[in-house]
Chain A
Amino acid sequence: MNEQKTTHFGYEQVAVEKKAERVADVFHSVAAKYDLMNDLMSAGVHRLWKRFTIEASAVRAGHKVLDIAGGTGDLSYQFAKLVGKDGQVILADINSSMLNVGRDRLIDRGVAGNIQFAQADAQYLPFPDNTFDCITIAFGLRNVTDKDLALRSMLRVLKPGGRLLVLEFSKPQHSLLEKVYDTYSFKLLPMIGKLVTNDADSYRYLAESIRMHPDQETLKSMMNDAGFVNTEFHNMTGGIVALHKGVKP
């Protein structure tokens, strides 16, 4: 019998080739109100998580930066200012709706000249080897079907000495915080999603996908296995979010 390979989509098991499609549906649905929902869900704290990521990036004028799953362009906007006219930022997202929202938003904010947009799959990045000084993937890795493949792809396109920053939901470090967080994300979050975007399912998927994502130590060892060195992570907001950093040797 021909056994079909499966992977998780939240708590649901789906065929590997179906996951990207299902994730795409979620983001097509939430793209228009993605920023508003981020602010509502995190009480604005996502801005601090992203700010810390920029601080840890060590990006400077002239650098080439790839912002994978860049969505509405929060990080790309800051990177475009940091790299200046001699640098280059590529905002990549697999989802066309998110990419369109991000592109419109950045153009509206006057960012042009040193930024390009690419609809790309993190597992098969369409860039030459040793291209980027820094790669970021913020709240995107958990939606990728094969995370190991994506990490290896990122390693390939990074320049030696370049750094990968993975900003992602992770495991809270205190049991009490974990309980509060569980209640919030499984009960309140879908309700907010229903009220604002009329789409409770997408936000239920968000909560479930966070629980299925590897915890801090597991992701760190996955990065080591992919070939990154000097890997480390910073917990933020009690471990609800973690920033992982790895350097290409």
Chain B
Amino acid sequence: MDAMFTTAAFASAEKMINAALAYDPATRIALSKLAPQVLAIKLTTPEMCIYVAPAVDGIKLLGHYEGDITTQVQGSAPALITLLKSERVNLKDSGVQVIGSTTFLAELQQILKKIDIDWEEMLSQIFGDIIGHQGAELIRSKMNWAKDRASNITRLTSEFVTEELQTLPSKAEVAFFNQQVDEIRLGVDRVEARINQLLQKNFQP
């Protein structure tokens, strides 16, 4: 694919993000303190690489970068999204690999979680105070709804699949099954050790 397509896409996304960040000065200041570090996000599915560079006037989104990289995060898109939303600091079994400074990544994650764009100010400047206020109210309510949905959706889906469809076992059932498997494995180990001991005794000269 011509490099210009990705360059154009990233340039547009960067412009939109920075236009929104202009209405969240706290985030912009926090991001500027992280410059000149660079985060490389290497997606395995779909295969692509995005470079995020915090700067004085917001962030830079690059599709091509040949300088030093502070941190590289590698994984599939769903795995990275899950990690971004979670509180976990351990990457074990997350499907995500991190190379370089994890401090920079944690700082960036904290800043992203605290983003609070002043939609009212932004819309007021375009449409005037009354429409701006109503528009901002609408965005706020939709965003709160989306946040609630996002936090509930994992729990609801899991309950539906286990309780209603009964296609998957519940967490407790899986834990009990694992415990039984462990006990059997230990039992087999003990029997093996006992047999070996008996064999040694019987065949000793």
- The residues of A with any CB-CB pair to B shorter than 8 Å are 45, 47-49, 51-52, 55-61, 81, 234-238
Alpha-carbon distance A149/B51, docked complex (angstroms)? 36
User: Can you name 8 A-B pairs with beta carbons within 8 Å?
Assistant: A48-B4, A48-B11, A52-B4, A55-B63, A60-B67, A81-B55, A81-B56, A238-B2
Contact indicator per residue, chain B 1-30, by CB within 8 Å of chain A (1) or not (0): 011100110010000000000000000000
CB contacts (< 8 Å) of A59 on chain B: these are: 67
Task: Name the distance in Å between A40's Cβ and chain B's nearest Cβ.
Answer: 18
Task: Name the distance in Å between B93's Cβ and chain A's nearest Cβ.
Answer: 34
Closest to B63 in A: A55
- The residues of B with any CB-CB pair to A shorter than 8 Å are 2-4, 7-8, 11, 36, 55-56, 62-68
Structural contact, A237 and B4, CB atoms closer than 8 A: yes
- With A55-B62, A61-B36 as contacts: A45 and B4 at CB distance below 8 Å: yes
Alpha-carbon distance A61/B56, docked complex (angstroms)? 12
Tally of A-B Cβ pairs under 8 angstroms: 41
The residue that B3 contacts in the complex, of A47, A52, A61, A81, with Cβ under 8 A, is A52
CB contacts (< 8 Å) of B36 on chain A: these are: 60-61
The residue that B7 contacts in the complex, of A51, A60, A81, with Cβ under 8 A, is A51
CB contacts (< 8 Å) of A45 on chain B: these are: 4
Alpha-carbon distance A236/B6, docked complex (angstroms)? 11
Task: Name the distance in Å between A114's Cβ and chain B's nearest Cβ.
Answer: 13
Task: Name the distance in Å between A54's Cβ and chain B's nearest Cβ.
Answer: 9
Structural contact, A58 and B66, CB atoms closer than 8 A: yes
Closest to B56 in A: A81
CB contacts (< 8 Å) of B67 on chain A: these are: 58-60
Alpha-carbon distance A58/B51, docked complex (angstroms)? 13
CB contacts (< 8 Å) of A47 on chain B: these are: 11
- With A81-B56, A238-B2 as contacts: A55 and B8 at CB distance below 8 Å: no
CB contacts (< 8 Å) of B62 on chain A: these are: 55
Structural contact, A52 and B64, CB atoms closer than 8 A: yes
Alpha-carbon distance A59/B146, docked complex (angstroms)? 40
Task: Name the distance in Å between A106's Cβ and chain B's nearest Cβ.
Answer: 16
Alpha-carbon distance A58/B65, docked complex (angstroms)? 7
Known: A58-B68, A60-B67, A234-B3. 10 other contacts (CB 8 A): A47-B11, A48-B11, A52-B3, A52-B7, A55-B63, A55-B66, A56-B66, A59-B67, A236-B3, A236-B4
